[in-house]
């Protein structure tokens, strides 16, 4: 950390800062410049909380040099983490496809879509039993019944299941039924839930909050890992911006940014980024070409009658095209 002194800070003020740093257990070194002096903190093993210093007389600002996360950091673990779920390896060479309806609506709906996806070569099935919805009047998911339907999907098709837990109550149930537990964007800073997710026996798919920085996403993952569960898959799903041609703006650079800072795998959700069916495929292809470790895509056999997110769900024919595109891109990537 660098403590920047105000123009005209006195020697006494600078010495007081250095003394305070000493009390914190570090060493402070004064760096006089042409216009002002800065004090460098040396010897810290962990990030320093600069608020004490910031409040001292003569201090203009503090500048943090080191990132505040540790366990998720590529500096801590240089090699990329591969997360194995059944026979699927997430973060390895081949991008992984997760697909399915936004919400589980009925056994028939879930199975119809699952059989189709299986026939396309998909290995991981997505579908929500607990749905966080902006309006209390919208469909909130089938709950435990939805999980039981997902169990049937797994038994009949052999597909692995990723499904969302929205609170500590349903997390326990979701852990039982899911192969991958999803923590949604709206819960990315629900730290109680993150801590609990750090104690489940399944990998966690952690979605980026729509207004979270990459640093905050990585800190959220750090919450999970500090509790003992290091199998975290990150997911970029679009951020909130002024741009109004899509529901969210896919932050494509999150892929290389996460890969630079962290060893964890990162997948992309083009469906929630786009919010409209016709842009899902271009975004999906862009994500794969930019280096994403996989995609999570909404597909529905009858989007017109989907109980949620119908407008962004791909038709089966479109999904077949996407699978074909991704498979060709994979060969390009080899």
If 0-12 CB within 10 Å is exposed, 13-18 middle and 19+ buried, where does residue 110 land?
buried
* Residue from 118, 187, 106, 202 nearest 159 by CA: 118
Task: Report if residue 143 touches its own copies, rule: CB under 8 A.
Answer: no
**What's the closest the beta carbon of residue 157 comes to its own copies, in angstroms?**
25
Tokens of 57: 């007389």
Task: Pick between residue 39 and residue 153 the one whose CB is nearest to its own copies.
Answer: 39
Task: Report if residue 289 touches its own copies, rule: CB under 8 A.
Answer: yes
Task: Report if residue 42 touches its own copies, rule: CB under 8 A.
Answer: yes
Task: Report if residue 35 touches its own copies, rule: CB under 8 A.
Answer: yes
Task: Report if residue 121 touches its own copies, rule: CB under 8 A.
Answer: no
Question: Is-contact 104 127, C-beta < 8 A?
Answer: yes
DSSP per position, 178-211: -SEEEE-GGGTT-HHHHHHHTTSSS-EEEEPPTT
Task: Report if residue 12 touches its own copies, rule: CB under 8 A.
Answer: no
> The tokens 């929500």 sit on which residue?
128
Please select the residue that binds its own copies; options are 18, 111, 311, 323, rule is CB under 8 A. Answer: 311
Query: Restricting to residues 236-265, which ones interact with its own copies according to CB under 8 A?
Result: 239-246, 249-257, 260
Tokens of 165: 């837990």
Residues touching its own copies, count (CB under 8 A): 105
Binding segment for its own copies (CB under 8 A), chosen from 53-61, 80-88, 93-101, 143-151, is 53-61
- The span from the CA of 249 to the CA of 243, in Å, is 7
Query: Restricting to residues 86-115, which ones interact with its own copies according to CB under 8 A?
Result: none
Tokens of 180: 């991958």
Please select the residue that binds its own copies; options are 13, 18, 24, 68, rule is CB under 8 A. Answer: 68
**What's the closest the beta carbon of residue 212 comes to its own copies, in angstroms?**
9
Task: Pick between residue 161 and residue 257 the one whose CB is nearest to its own copies.
Answer: 257
Assign residue 230 a region: left if phi > 0, alpha if psi is -120 to 50, beta otherwise? Answer: alpha
Q: 217: Cβ–Cβ under 8 A, 6 or more apart, which residues?
A: 188, 206, 208, 209, 234, 258
Task: Report if residue 319 touches its own copies, rule: CB under 8 A.
Answer: no
Please select the residue that binds its own copies; options are 291, 318, 320, 323, rule is CB under 8 A. Answer: 291
Task: Pick between residue 250 and residue 299 the one whose CB is nearest to its own copies.
Answer: 250
Task: Report if residue 138 touches its own copies, rule: CB under 8 A.
Answer: yes
* Residue from 32, 8, 7 nearest 18 by CA: 32
**What's the closest the beta carbon of residue 235 comes to its own copies, in angstroms?**
15
Please select the residue that binds its own copies; options are 82, 120, 144, 290, rule is CB under 8 A. Answer: 290
Question: Is-contact 26 68, C-beta < 8 A?
Answer: no
Task: Report if residue 285 touches its own copies, rule: CB under 8 A.
Answer: yes
**What's the closest the beta carbon of residue 201 comes to its own copies, in angstroms?**
20
Task: Pick between residue 82 and residue 329 the one whose CB is nearest to its own copies.
Answer: 329
Query: Mask of contacts with its own copies, 148-177, x by CB under 8 A?
Result: ------------------xxxx--------
Using CA atoms, how far residue 209 sits from 8, 133, 232, 238, in Å, is 42, 15, 15, 9
Question: Is-contact 283 247, C-beta < 8 A?
Answer: no
């Amino acid at each position: 950390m660098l403590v920047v002194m105000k123009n005209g800070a006195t020697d006494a003020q600078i010495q007081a800062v250095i003394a305070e740093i000493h009390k914190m257990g570090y060493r402070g070194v004064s760096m006089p410049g042409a216009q002002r002096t800065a004090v460098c903190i040396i010897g810290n093993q962990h990030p320093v909380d600069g608020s004490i210093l910031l409040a001292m007389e003569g201090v203009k600002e503090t500048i943090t040099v080191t990132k505040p996360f540790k366990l998720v950091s590529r500096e801590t673990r240089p090699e990329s983490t591969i997360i194995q779920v059944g026979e699927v390896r997430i973060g390895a060479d081949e991008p992984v496809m997760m697909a399915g309806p936004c919400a589980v609506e009925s056994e028939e709906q879930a199975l119809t879509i699952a059989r189709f996806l299986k026939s396309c070569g998909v290995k991981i099935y997505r579908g929500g039993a607990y749905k966080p919805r902006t309006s209390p009047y919208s469909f909130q998911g089938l709950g435990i019944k939805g999980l039981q339907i997902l169990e049937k999907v797994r038994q009949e098709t052999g597909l692995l299941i990723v499904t969302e837990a929205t609170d500590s109550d349903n997390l326990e149930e979701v852990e039982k039924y899911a192969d991958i537990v999803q923590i949604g964007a709206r819960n990315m800073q629900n730290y109680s839930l993150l801590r609990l997710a750090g104690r489940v026996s399944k990998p966690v798919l952690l979605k980026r909050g729509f207004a979270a920085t990459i640093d905050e996403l990585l800190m959220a993952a750090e919450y999970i890992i500090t509790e003992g569960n290091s199998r975290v898959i990150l997911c970029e799903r679009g951020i909130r911006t002024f741009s109004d041609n899509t529901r969210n703006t896919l932050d494509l650079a999150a892929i290389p940014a996460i890969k630079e800072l962290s060893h964890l795998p990162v997948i992309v959700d083009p469906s929630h980024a786009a919010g409209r069916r016709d842009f899902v495929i271009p975004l999906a292809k862009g994500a794969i070409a930019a280096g994403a470790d996989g995609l999570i895509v909404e597909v529905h056999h009858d989007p017109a009658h989907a109980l949620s997110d119908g407008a962004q769900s791909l038709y089966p024919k479109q999904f077949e095209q996407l699978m074909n595109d991704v498979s060709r891109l994979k060969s390009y990537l080899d």
